[in-house]
Structure 1
């Protein structure tokens, strides 16, 4: 989504509208209505404002963000030129003198209260000077008051248009801010749940060290003492699974310090997952450089998505899961597809929701943790329905962030 224009750029756009309107007003007043105006001072004021707006447009592209001081300085130029033009075209009798109120309204919608008060003071001073030292127009017999009324009508239309433009922008900005705050609150609640879950997981990992060590000794004894080849084979497989569990438990402690956990090979992560879920028919489409290594968090992301996909497929009496990984320019692209029932109407896709699952025995943390991992690395994850049934989970990660390198 493109960034919204800054207040200085908005002022530049409005100033061009004002310059065009002032030009048309002078031409109509002089050549259509035949008013005896001194054209040289008016055209000089319009030319100065146009030259300043060229500089203001160049400056607004160089400045990062809005600066109230600069905005106030720009509006001082607008006040000075407006006072000059009003003073040279009738002074206090000019119906466009109320345009000073429009400058105050624009400042009130975008600037802090201190700068608004300063702008109001400048407008009062400009209006006073134009009234005190303005050049009065010769008395126009017959329709002078009607001319003033027409000027007031045009002034009202212009003021209403500018105030409407700024008020709608302000309402849109407030609504966008509310949506962002709601999203931040949801993410904060999710992150609080993740922190609580991580604390509990660390405690459980500490408690699991002893039983895992005991299981390792027992499995080794069974493999050594058993006379059955099948039992020995099962014991070897069980020993491999225990080693995976032990490594994962130890990884919980080392993951707190990113420098202590080495990068992993995505292909080995998938191979290890296949060892844990041997009954799943995994279809791979992996096109990665052989030397590519990724952060352990990416490995956890792959395992979480594969586990979710395997569970969804098994619920629909299917054992197939598809995984695809590729590198495109500076992005790591991934896709995991299941052959399950697809989206649940009673529980729509909510990647930020913790402990909410459509599976009877699900914990409701897989997608939330996966989405948090992708967001932390500056990537994006989305969920789509597959054409022939099932669900596709796609993610994009910046390659430098995924590999743990600095941009």
Structure 2
């Protein structure tokens, strides 16, 4: 059962990690589409300059047909990848393969290996090495090599003016220089973008792994707390019976002071049983009894009343400006708020404030105190387990659980220090997470 719970806890993070990988693949496909548009513009410019500027005869009809096919493929790619996000290695491989085929066709029609732009094959090979799996990259290398070898055998060279001139006056040398500059510029721009996409994807995956580890930690604590709650149930029930028997015994019933102490013990025992029941409910047991339908103001008013009655707070400032609405909450949501209030009380026993308001479709709960505030290193690691300024083992789990409960409900927890002194923690929870539509 514990293994199943751990697997369920990891599932949202694994799905988010998969989405991160899909986003990186989609961005890389967009880079290939942009590069293809640059290739189209470059081919049009080159054909115009060579055919009409230099006066070299080219099979323009066939070259324009190849160019039209490349444009049609890129338009189709743009439309497809605008809607679809998941990009596989095979789809990236096909896209680069089309680019290699288009380049081969244009080179075949414009001089083959005597064309200085034959070195653009290197651009496709390098992009495949960055974007594709190993087998796909080696396949592109083999295909590009075969295409180059085929061009050297079957293509017809084009007579270039000043072909045999040396130095910069040779059109072939000029074409090679342009090809080198173009290759270098495109590689710098697009490899930089692609690596940025990959780094962003890796960072997101690392964040998702950290989140999965935290959620696994929570599940383990929930299992431990659930087991401890079960174990405590029997001794608490025994104590309840003993105290009930004591209250009926003549030695105690005739002594008002002892009866008062027994009553106080029973009240504290009832609170312990309530805490144990809350642990079991939060751990997922008797879940049907955990959720309760009420209104937001009733829930907050009862929570504040119960919290103040059981905590030694000197001054509690409660302000609620939320327009009342029906909601559903469970003990995890209640415990999340109490954790923040307890931390504020521990730092500032003389004054704690709770402000409740509704903004931008979310409930905002701001808990403030007049204590020393958060240290900078605590704020940097806010929400991490065992991140506490108290310096005691096992501390710092309250806010860790609060952050993760809020995140599970689609909300956020922010912490900071007040300008006038003290700490402030803002709980934000979307109304959709707890609101109930009236029938």
| Shorter-chain TM band | 0.7 to 0.9
C-alpha displacement of 1:237: 6.5
Aligned pair partner of 2:171 in 122, 147, 155? 147
Write 1 or 2 for the structure with the bigger share of helix: 2
183, 186, 201: which is aligned to 2:225?
201
Question: Is the 1:107–1:116 contact (alpha carbons within 8 Å) kept by the matching residues of 2?
Answer: yes
Q: Which moved more, 1:146-155 or 1:168-177?
A: 168-177
Deviation track 1:24-49 (CA, whole Å, cap 9, x = no partner) reads 11222233333333333333322221
The runs of 5 or more residues in structure 2 that have no matched partner are: 1-19, 294-298
Contact 2:163/2:172 (8 A) holds in 1: no
Aligned partner (choices 115, 124, 136) of residue 103 of structure 1: 124
**Greater relative contact order (Cα 8 A, min sep 6): structure 1 or 2?**
2
Q: TM-score, normalised by structure 1?
A: 0.84
The answer as to whether partners of 1:202 and 1:252 remain within 8 angstroms in 2 is yes
Return 5+ residue gaps in structure 1 as ranges. none
- Tell me the CA shift for residue 65 of structure 1: 1.5
Aligned to 1:84: 105
Q: Tell me the secondary structure at the aligned position of residue 341 of structure 1.
A: coil
1:385-404 Cα deviation digits (max 9, x unpaired): 22322222123334444469
* 2:404 counterpart (340, 350, 372): 372
1:394 aligns with 2:426: yes
Pick which of 109-118 and 180-189 moved more: 180-189
After the TM superposition, which residues 1-80 of structure 1 pair with which residues of structure 2 at under 5 Å, given as runs? 4=24, 5-80=26-101
Counterpart of 1:253 (choices 280, 297, 303) is: 280
Deviation string for 1:87-144 (max 9, x for gaps)?
Answer: 2211110011111221121111111122223323332343344333334212524665
TM-score normalised by L of structure 2: 0.79
For residues 224-276 of structure 1, give each alpha carbon's deviation from its aligned partner in whole angstroms, at most 9, with x where no partner exists: 75547x985x8766654442321111222233323442336343233221221
CA-based RMSD of the aligned residues comes to: 3.3
> How many Å separate the matches in 1 of 2:179 and 2:213?
51
Paired residues of 2:386 and 2:395 also in contact (CA < 8 A): yes
Q: Note the 1:199-348 alignment, pairs <5 A.
A: 199-209=223-233, 212-213=236-237, 214=239, 218=243, 221=247, 227=256, 232=260, 239-257=266-284, 258-263=287-292, 265-286=299-320, 287=322, 289-314=324-349, 319-328=350-359, 330-345=361-376, 347-348=378-379
More displaced stretch, 343-352 vs 274-283: 343-352
Secondary structure in structure 2 of the residue aligned to 1:13: helix
| Distance (Å, rounded) in 2 between the aligned partners of 1:181 and 1:55 | 30
- SS of structure 1 residue aligned to 2:290: coil
Helix, strand or coil at the partner of 1:251: helix
Cα distance in 2 for residues equivalent to 1:76 and 1:182:
32
Aligned to 2:414: 382
Change in Cα spacing, 1:174 to 1:11, as seen in structure 2 (3 Å) is closer
Structure 1 distance, partners of 2:219, 2:98, is 53
Structure 1 residue 15 displacement after superposition: 0.5
Shift of 1:204: 3.8
Is 1:133 matched up with 2:154?
yes
The answer to whether the Cα contact below 8 Å between 2:31 and 2:194 also exists between their aligned partners in 1 is no
Aligned residues: 398
Aligned twin of 2:382? 351
CA distance in 2: counterparts of 1:96 and 1:403, whole angstroms: 64
Report the 3-state secondary structure (helix = DSSP H, G, I; strand = E; otherwise coil) of the residue aligned with 1:293. strand
Taking a change above 3 Å as real, the CA distance of residues 300 and 174 of structure 1, as seen in their structure-2 partners, is same
Instruction: Tell me, yes or no, if the aligned pair for 2:161 and 2:171 is still in contact at 8 Å.
Output: no
Q: How far off its partner does 1:23 sit?
A: 1.4
Residue 346 (structure 1) shift: 5.6
Q: Pick one of 172, 178, 181 that aligns with 2:196.
A: 172
